[in-house]
Structure 1
Amino acid sequence: MRRHLITSLFALVLALPALAAGKTVSDAQGRQLVVPDSPRRIVALSELDLDAALALGIKPVGATLGRGQGGMPRYLGQASAGIAPVGQFASPVLDKVLALQPDLILAGGLPDPQLLAQLEKIAPVAISYQLGEDWQTALQRIGTLTGRSAQAQLALASYQQQATALRQRLGKAAGARVSVVRWNPQGPAYMLRDAFASRVLADVGLQRPAGQDQPGIAHSPPLSMESLQRIDGDWLFIGTLAASGPASDALAAAQQNPAFRQLAAVRQGHMAAVDGSLWTSLGGPLAARALLAELEQHLLAGNAKPRS
């Protein structure tokens, strides 16, 4: 009987999954947690987490959808193919997360203690950034959390090299006042000074129009068509989060409005319709480099045209 019990226990131990080697790290809130040295099954609960993981050579097994979208952030294209959706932005579905058997959950700036406690029953949960923190600091922390610090430094160096090169080539566009606008069904809202795109613009020496140079990481309240002059600038980049739908329809209608056509940026051919999931959301190194590439395409061409 005793020999049979020992044999059964030994078989049970062999059947258990091997425990991965771990390390103790601090997340963005200073919480201490043990994470695998090289996590293989990551779930990303924010656009920044997803972007950063992909840039570090990690394909998460799951991620929340891009805000205001029915899929992953569309600027990622095929890079996000095959990643299982686990719910809307900031609202992960616990059953979907559990089914993926993650070994690390990157929770972005998730502020809900109750949700965090539930997620911690599934896998180690790391708050990867503080709200308002720049994406470069967040990337370095995500590099530490995932055991990819060297790759994070390479990604930062690549971005900085691209930003410096563009800054040196801007020519007559140097110091231009660039307006970045998210068009909503209710109307346009401009991005504030500390938003993701605003910080990328600052890295290449571009400015925001005086009326938009306000502190904040998000965007203004929607403006009426009577206040349309507030979105004007030397250059105007307008995006919607989803490629189609009410916001896209509202933007198309606005472009036929005489007040819109009288904006200086529009009259000069300095308006471009862009991907709002890239320009008006929170991205990481992939988004930052893509945004630089679009700036170069439009500003150095000297004539930005709306995209169909």
Structure 2
Amino acid sequence: MAPLRRAGGLFAAAAAVLTVVACGASSTPAVPATSAAPGASAAAPAVREVKDATGTLIKVPAEPKRVVTLTQEDLDAVLALGVTPVGITNGQGIDTPPAYLADRVKGVPIVGNLLQPVIDKVVEAAPDLILAGDLQDQQVLDQLRKITPATVVTMAPTDDWKLSFMGVGNALNKLDVAKKVMADYDARVAEAKTEVKPAEVSIVRWNPQGPSWMEKRQFAGFVATDLGMTRPAAQDKDGTAHSMPLSLEALSDIDGEWLFVSTLTADGEKTLAEIRQTPAFKELKAVKAGHVVSVNGSVWSTRGAPLAAAVVIDDLVKALTAG
């Protein structure tokens, strides 16, 4: 299996465990305020020490004021936690912020593309905390840490979206808020289960090279599993990756009672349009039943976060109640 995206060798094998440790990292107590002598400088801001997804100990502000996010997952997470960042990157595969978050970030400066920050623009944003997603370019990380040492890698390749989100909550010193967000997610899942019956769902990203199906702990697959959905036999894999692009001869691997398909690029959309006209695609049982649903790739094909999870739940409920 190929990793979902952006995976590489910077992370330790136990990255997921280290992120859990980060959620319990101890805080450095703030020094009590005292009367300063005339002309004395103000006390330095209080800091905390957290462990990021690479296992690195990072000192971060106890109360971050100026947060920059380098991935849409981190952007989604901070917005869900009630924080408006001072700098963001464009969404995956696009040159604008993700459409589902656009209304929430109007006027926020763009500091680059996904995991490709423009250093001068990051400097202009004057962050006191940078959430670097799964950035693995050590040279870029070093440059960012010259802007602020509080540059936190928030995702490891094998982390699921819930674990990464709690890591962001820890970095922002908002674990209580993060727990409330997850409780709200669980409540929405419970509500959705009363609205739809379990079904077999195939979750596919269509690339220019062909379709790739998602494993069960990949973001959208995770949400579907939470809702009690099952997966076709070929997709019943408990991982966070996607398959290699399939040939026409292997299209049966994407078949299911329902087929949810996303694309990220114009080339992917073109390929999907061409494949839809082939006999092999038309023979899929989901196609024959009229159960093929096009969904937003910038939501379904990402690493995921709470606001995106709400969109996936709504998409599933809408399709399954209409069908």
Q: Quick check: TM above 0.5?
A: yes
Deviation at 1:30, TM superposition (A): 3.2
Which letter does structure 2 place at the counterpart of 1:141? G
Equivalent position amino acid for 2:200 in 1: R
Matched-pair contact (CA < 8 Å) for 1:128–1:138: yes
Give ranges in structure 1 of 5+ residues lacking alignment.
1-9, 304-308
- Say which is worse superposed, 264-273 or 23-32, in terms of deviation: 23-32
Question: Does 2:153 match 1:132?
Answer: no
CA contact (8 A) 2:204 2:260 kept: yes
1:106 matched to 2:131? The reply is yes
**Who is 2:113 aligned against?**
88
- Structure 1 residue 239, shift from structure 2 partner: 0.8
Q: Which moved more, 1:250-259 or 1:284-293?
A: 250-259
Question: 1:196 deviation in Å?
Answer: 0.7
Q: 1:209 aligns with which of 219, 223, 232?
A: 232
> 1:21-76 CA distances to partner (integer Å, 9 max, x unpaired)?
32222223332222222212111122221110010111112222222122222332
- 1:206-245 counterparts in 2 under 5 A? 206-242=229-265, 245=266
Query: What's the offset of the Cα at 1:100?
Result: 1.0
1:225 and 1:299 mapped to 2: Cα distance?
27
Alignment RMSD: 2.2
Q: Give, in angstroms, the shift of residue 188 of structure 1.
A: 1.4
Take 2:217 and 2:161, find their aligned partners in 1: how far apart are those partners?
11
Query: Normalized against structure 2, the TM-score is what?
Result: 0.81
Which amino acid counterpart does residue 276 of structure 2 have in structure 1?
Answer: Q
How far 1:83 moved relative to its partner?
Answer: 2.8
The reply to whether residue 158 of structure 1 matches residue 207 of structure 2 is no
Q: Contact 1:179–1:237 at 8 Å: present in 2 too?
A: yes
- Once residues 46 and 128 of structure 1 are traced to their aligned partners in structure 2, the CA distance between those partners, rounded to angstroms, is 10
Moved more, 186-195 or 153-162: 186-195
2:214 is aligned, of 186, 191, 213, to 191
Return 46-55 or 74-83, whichever deviates more.
74-83
Question: By how many angstroms is 1:194 displaced?
Answer: 2.3
Percent identity, aligned pairs only? 42
Is 1:257 aligned to residue 278 of structure 2? Answer: yes
| Residue type of the alignment partner of 2:285 | A
CA contact (8 A) 1:75 1:275 kept: no
Q: CA deviation at 1:87?
A: 2.2
Q: 1:202-257: CA deviations, max 9, x gaps?
A: 11111221112235423212122232222111110001124xx2222222232233
Matched, 1:116 2:141: yes
- Give, as a single letter, the amino acid of the residue that structure 2 aligns with 1:199: F
After superposition, what is the alpha-carbon deviation per residue over 1:264-299, rounded to whole angstroms, capped at 9, x for unaligned? 111112110110111111120001111111111111
Structure 2 counterpart SS, 1:85: coil
Measure the CA separation in 1 of the matches of 2:129 and 2:277.
Answer: 48
Amino acid at match of 1:211: A
Counterpart position of 1:27: 52
- Match in the other structure for 2:84: 59
Return the alpha-carbon distance in structure 1 between the equivalents of residues 217 and 173 of structure 2. 29
Letter in 2 for 1:266: V
CA distance in 1, matches of 2:246, 2:304: 24
Contact 1:52/1:139 (CA < 8 Å) preserved in 2?
yes
**Closer/same/farther in 2, CA of residues 81 and 253 from structure 1, 3 Å limit:** farther
**Offset of residue 170 of structure 1:** 2.4
Specify whether residues 160 and 143 from structure 1 end up closer, same or farther in structure 2 by C-alpha distance, changes over 3 A only: same
**Secondary structure in structure 1 of the residue aligned to 2:156:** coil
SS class of match (2:147): coil
TM-score by length of structure 1 reads: 0.85
**Separation in 2, partners of 1:218, 1:186:** 17
Asked if the contact 2:160/2:303 (under 8 Å) is kept, the reply is: no
SS at match of 2:261: strand
Counterpart in the other structure of 2:7: none
- Equivalent residue for 1:273? 294
Query: Are 2:92 and 2:114, in contact at CA under 8 Å, matched by a contact in 1?
Result: yes
List 4+ stretches of structure 1 deviating above 4 A: none
Unaligned runs of 5+ in 2: 1-37
Q: Is 1:290 the equivalent of 2:311?
A: yes
